[in-house]
Chain A
């Protein structure tokens, strides 16, 4: 028996491996990463490079002719086309309306639903369910509810003597309507992120603060809110990006109207690319959107870092 063990040990130590341990580990790591990495190359990096190239061309999808025009499309969008700035303005209004409202509501819901009580799971499910609902289905239902005459919302308002507007057909109201319905749809995601962050804050902090005489508001403002800062930053970034990318909601509810009042950047890109077949120009607009979102994200991260310091 001793001999066998001795032989085994000798065999183990005397065999020189084909590859070093580090090389083998590296190979295994790449094998695990490769499916995702290949997908990233094909479906993300490739199209991204293509968009960069197309943005420098004039390419009409119908004629299938792509002519290199350099920065002509950018010049057109930024300096000549008044629609572009109108669309950017709409996108900014949409983001400014949606992001604070979404975050405030998400935090309020999270604070209410982060502690266990009877029915808490039911309420969390109710508020999260719209997130996983089809955006188109959601928009169709709300379009129906927000009809001017005979719409459910206006019928309810009529019960208390208020004559509701034609929500999706009046320029002043259409933007508010799409923002609010979008907030209701997406607030559940941010609520879950906030709940997870709240539950990760040790209970001891709150108890220590209570013992020291802090009120509920002081505990929230001086302890909870600062500790939620990293989550708030993530939520702010993803919600801002999401608000600039909104398409399906606008497509179904207003189609960009009335009077282009809800025509936002993503929908405008779609119009240029797939309605007017100006793929080159649409790519340019996509590049501009990419830069806007990137700049906003960097600004938010920098502001948050400065705040944390």
Chain B
């Protein structure tokens, strides 16, 4: 098991700054997920850790070693690529044993480790097949197997499930979680799928424009987002952000901090009621039925659009007027720069 320390990591491609001063600590055996919108630098950060890209500035420590100038193969990391990167002309066995072969591990030892990894990933029956003869999920498992046989200190996953269908993705997600539990190795995982991030991570790192917006546990990020970007990025459907003045309309119990400019409330934290029972009324402009819940697009009297989730049996019809109520403790306040404002009650405690 190995910890990682990133100090002021920067990456420039010509005049373009892709990573702008990232400071991060990843503890032994932690499962850390990098999330963020496309182009935020999450894959680049992973490639900097792997050594496939050179660090422009800053320091990267893996364990107690400074590895800025260390070759990728000497860093003790293994990577699972989005495309799997399985060599098409080699069998599963040869793919998994490739790294051991080039490192001149004796054939007997090589076979033992391949068989061990194959047993772990239930690949025993597929060892003599070629990648073209495997399904997407099987290929994914081979890619993970190839990473396992090298016995790395750190696993790096670059959007490993994005090429799989929804059902298989859920299955493989649970397999990766189980693998982490079994191996207890430090894992860094890049995804743009927040469900993957929330379900797998011990710690989530939210990135935007090459900077870290927030680091925390999934619950921390969901319940106490550091800013409006994180608040809207984590959680699906995304958080509603309204002018701070609307807080009092959503719940009279709301105590609006003086410098708050916006109030955020998650769609699942708004209670739908009959028009006359709600504190604020709105008109349903779109209903999206998803099975377990219905997502309502509600137009408020001031023209603001608000997303609300509703249980199926409560789902109102299109065009109808409904009442909305929020709980005061579920409101999030942000200042003019989008930073989180501590609720007044928290300030009092401090």
Q: Using a CB–CB distance below 8 Å, which chain A residues touch chain B?
A: 202, 204-205, 207-215, 218, 222-223, 226-227, 229, 308
Cα distance, A214 to B104, chains bound together (Å): 10
Q: Which of B52, B83, B88, B99 contacts A212 (CB 8 A)?
A: B99
Cα distance, A94 to B150, chains bound together (Å): 49
- CB 8 Å contact bits of B50-84 with A (1 = contact, 0 = none): 11100000000000000000001110011101010
Cα distance, A210 to B98, chains bound together (Å): 11
The reply to whether B73 and A208 form a contact with Cβ atoms under 8 Å apart is: no
The reply to whether A211 and B50 form a contact with Cβ atoms under 8 Å apart is: yes
The reply to whether B85 and A208 form a contact with Cβ atoms under 8 Å apart is: yes
The size bracket of the interface on B is: 20 to 34
Contacts across chains A and B counted by CB atoms under 8 Å = 58
> B289 on the interface (CB 8 Å rule)?
no
Say how far B310's CB is from chain A's closest CB, in angstroms.
36
The reply to whether B79 and A211 form a contact with Cβ atoms under 8 Å apart is: yes
- Which residues of B, 78-105, contact A by the 8 Å Cβ criterion? 78-79, 81, 83, 85, 87-89, 98-99, 102-103
The reply to whether A207 and B81 form a contact with Cβ atoms under 8 Å apart is: yes
- Interface of A, secondary structure class, is helix
Say how far B81's CB is from chain A's closest CB, in angstroms.
5
Which among A202, A212, A215 has the greatest number of chain B C-beta atoms within 10 A?
A: A212
Residues of B within 8 A of A205 (CB): 85, 87
Given A211-B72, A212-B102, A226-B89; A202-B52 close (CB under 8 Å)? no
Residues of B within 8 A of A208 (CB): 79, 81, 85, 87, 146
Q: Which of A207, A214, A218, A226 contacts B52 (CB 8 A)?
A: A207
The reply to whether A212 and B150 form a contact with Cβ atoms under 8 Å apart is: yes
The reply to whether B87 and A212 form a contact with Cβ atoms under 8 Å apart is: no
Given A210-B52, A212-B98, A213-B73; A204-B103 close (CB under 8 Å)? no
Say how far A146's CB is from chain B's closest CB, in angstroms.
43
The reply to whether A211 and B98 form a contact with Cβ atoms under 8 Å apart is: no
Residues of A within 8 A of B78 (CB): 211-212
Besides the known contacts A211-B78, A212-B98, 19 further A-B residue pairs in the complex with CB atoms under 8 A apart? A202-B83, A204-B85, A207-B52, A207-B85, A208-B81, A208-B85, A208-B146, A209-B98, A209-B102, A211-B50, A211-B51, A212-B78, A212-B102, A213-B74, A213-B99, A213-B102, A214-B73, A222-B98, A222-B102
The residue on B at minimum CB distance from A219 is B102
Q: Which of B72, B89, B103 contacts A210 (CB 8 A)?
A: B72
Residues of A within 8 A of B77 (CB): 211
Given A211-B52, A213-B99; A223-B87 close (CB under 8 Å)? yes
Say how far B147's CB is from chain A's closest CB, in angstroms.
9
Residues of B within 8 A of A202 (CB): 83, 85
The reply to whether B87 and A204 form a contact with Cβ atoms under 8 Å apart is: no
Residues of A within 8 A of B81 (CB): 204, 207-208
User: Can you list 7 A-B pairs, Cβ within 8 angstroms, ordered by A?
Assistant: A205-B87, A207-B85, A209-B98, A210-B73, A211-B51, A212-B102, A212-B150
What 10 A-B pairs have minimum CB-CB distances, sorted nearest first?
A: A212-B99, A213-B73, A204-B85, A208-B85, A214-B102, A226-B89, A211-B72, A204-B81, A213-B103, A204-B83
Say how far B128's CB is from chain A's closest CB, in angstroms.
13
Residues of A within 8 A of B73 (CB): 210-214
Say how far B256's CB is from chain A's closest CB, in angstroms.
51
The residue on A at minimum CB distance from B150 is A212
The residue on B at minimum CB distance from A208 is B85
Cα distance, A308 to B91, chains bound together (Å): 12
Residues of A within 8 A of B98 (CB): 209, 212, 214, 222
Residues of A within 8 A of B88 (CB): 227
Residues of B within 8 A of A308 (CB): 89
Cα distance, A218 to B73, chains bound together (Å): 14
